[in-house]
Structures are given as structure tokens and as C-alpha cells.
Amino acid sequence: QTHSSFSSRRLFHVVIPPLTMASASVNTWPDAPTRDDLKVRTEKRDGEETVVAVDGVFNYQSGAVERCLRSNGKLYTVRDGTGSDGAMVGMQWGPTKVTVENGRLTNPNLDVDGFELRRFPTSVGHLDFFDEKPLFSSYFPECERLIKEATGAKVVRVFDYNVRSQGGKLEKKEIKGGGVQVQSPAHIVHNDYTQTSGPARLRQLGNKPTMNDVSRRMRGEAPLLTQEEVELGLKNRFMIINVWRSIRPEPCEVYPLALASASTLDPNDLCVFEIRYADRVGENYFAAHNPQHRWQYFPRMTPDEAILLKQWDSAGALGGGAGTTSTFSLHSAFADPSASPEAADRQSIETRLICIFDDAPSSKL
């Protein structure tokens, strides 16, 4: 038998303007929005009080922003060689309160929802995630083995990563050996690839690496993929997956990652955001709010766990729905009202991998 209770806690995060007012076009990444009336729902399970769901506030795009699946050039930023962004152009944030369920109780999966939780301890006792050398030699090969086992892909290779920490960003902390800065958690509803940029990234990985490519520091001037591997992915199936891990010894409470089930996505919610590098243009999808979006998160993640997050699957159905394979999951950091005010700053790493399959696009995981 279970019982439910609701509580409201005063958060230690900064409160932004009321949710009924969409922000005007701004030139910076937004902070984590929150309110004083956010609730935490708990149930008694096995004698323990367990968080079942929390309220969260998410930076969607406002209803005034034009939707598009292909870029119209209206939303963009310019990113430099350290990974930092210039002015944001065209964004209108529409902070919206939603329910975020405890994914530990619902067990989402990669094929349907576009994400899942895995136990994934590293084989190295203490790994310095702020140093590229052990990342390249130890951690990235472990990620490749994990994703190969999880997906059955023929080819799996790491091609990018980000380390995120609010404090690290404020201190302008750099990754040793990489010359890239630690980034803040991303407090925006987004996906990292689009109909255009997903296939484009696959093709780019078959070329000589450019200035911003991590593979240039890992492997030198050789392409990450052969042209045969690129063609195999375009012909059959390719996937881009993010392995997301908290890297502090303490459980992650501050700005955890929330994910929306791909089965609840409507393509009409999406708009394209361009990231303009010196040598290429990347694209993300941002999204307007839709009440059907089902949000979940994994409270108090430890360093022995990882989220597998689809960021593009060429075999997926963009609209989601019953009986379809997911293409990607919208996601965002958020202020968790169940977090302790004394909780440590989030530190996390996200590792992006390209996967090439032998089988045809209609296959399932």
C-alpha cells in the first residue's frame, strides 16, 4: 500500500519573471528558471519515502517563435574554439511549469523513449574527468564498449564531449590538454541534432577533422570514419548517442538532467537553432511547449550510473508514437525542488558517439 504527499520547498535558485510572460529576444543563454510554489510528490514504498514526481520549470521557446524542421536562419549563435558562445539571436524563452516523473520507477527505454538508465562504473578507481589524457585512454573506450553492447552497432566511436559545472564555468575552468572550457548546464529544452545536422555530422566525420573536432586531438589528422563506414550508415542506419554521467562522488541533486519521452513528441513543436562555428554550422532543435510532453529524470544519480540518450537515429520516426522507434529525446537541466539547499554543485560529462549499423533502417534495437 502507498500513500501520496505533496510538499513545497523554498528553493535556493534565482527566481525569474512570471511564467505567463514570454521573455523578449535575448542575447545570452538563460539561467535555470524556478518558482516558490514547486511541489514534490512522494509515496511510501518499502517503508521509505520515495520521490514519485516533482514540479520543474523549463525554458521552452515562446509561441511567437516560428516553428521549422529545416533552418530558416532566424535562431543562431556563434561558437568559438573554446566552446563558448557569443550573442544569442532570435530566441524568445517561454518558461513553463511541468511535472517531471521519477524515471527510476517508470523504467524508460532507449528504443521507445529515446533514453534509459544503465549501471556503468568505470574500471579506473579515480578518473580525472578534467584531464583529456585519461578520457582518451580509458573512459572513451569504455563508453564505446557500453554503446556497442547496448545497440549492437557494427561501428561505435566517440567524437565529442562536454564537461559541465556551473561553478567551473564561472571560474573559466579549462580541461587539461584540451584547451576547451567547462560549460554550464544547459537550461533549455533542446535536442543536439536535426534532420539536416544529423546526417551532415556523419558525413563530416568521414572527412579530415576540423579545428573544433575532438577527434583531431585523439587521432590526429585522419578521419574518424572511413568513407565506406559513412556510406554504410547513410544506406542502412546510423545513430548518435550521448552517454551522460555525474562525476562527483556525491549524488547529483543540483540541476539534474530531465528528458522528454520521444513517444510524446510532435514535430510541429520544433524550431531549428544554428550554432555557427568558424569552419562549419551545427544545428539543434529547440521546442515550444506541448502539454503531451512526458518528462522524467533519475534523482540522485551516482558516478556508477549513466544515462544513454539518443540524439539522432536515422531509423526513428520523428513524430514518435506507439510501435515506432524513437529518433531523439528532448532534454534540459532543471532546478529540482527536492534538492537539498546544501547539495554540491553539479559536475557531469556527456560523451557523444557515432554508431553505424549493418542492418536496414526498419530494424529495432
Beta bridge partners of 45: 48
Share of the chain residues as helix, strand and coil, in percent rounded to the nearest 5? 15, 35, 50
Question: Cα–Cα distance between 353 and 362 in angstroms, integer?
Answer: 21
Per-residue pLDDT of 25-73, as tens digits, reads: 455 778 888 888 999 999 999 889 999 999 999 999 999 999 999 999 9
Contact 243, 301 (CB under 8 A): no
Per-residue pLDDT of 272-330, as tens digits, reads: 999 998 888 889 999 999 999 999 999 999 999 999 999 999 999 887 666 789 999 99
3-state secondary structure of 108: coil
- Residues 355, 198, 81, 217, Cα dihedral to 10°: 20
Q: Considering the entire predicted model, what is its pTM?
A: 0.89
Per-residue pLDDT of 14-36, as tens digits, reads: 333 333 333 444 557 788 888 88
Question: Cα–Cα distance between 205 and 213 in angstroms, integer?
Answer: 9
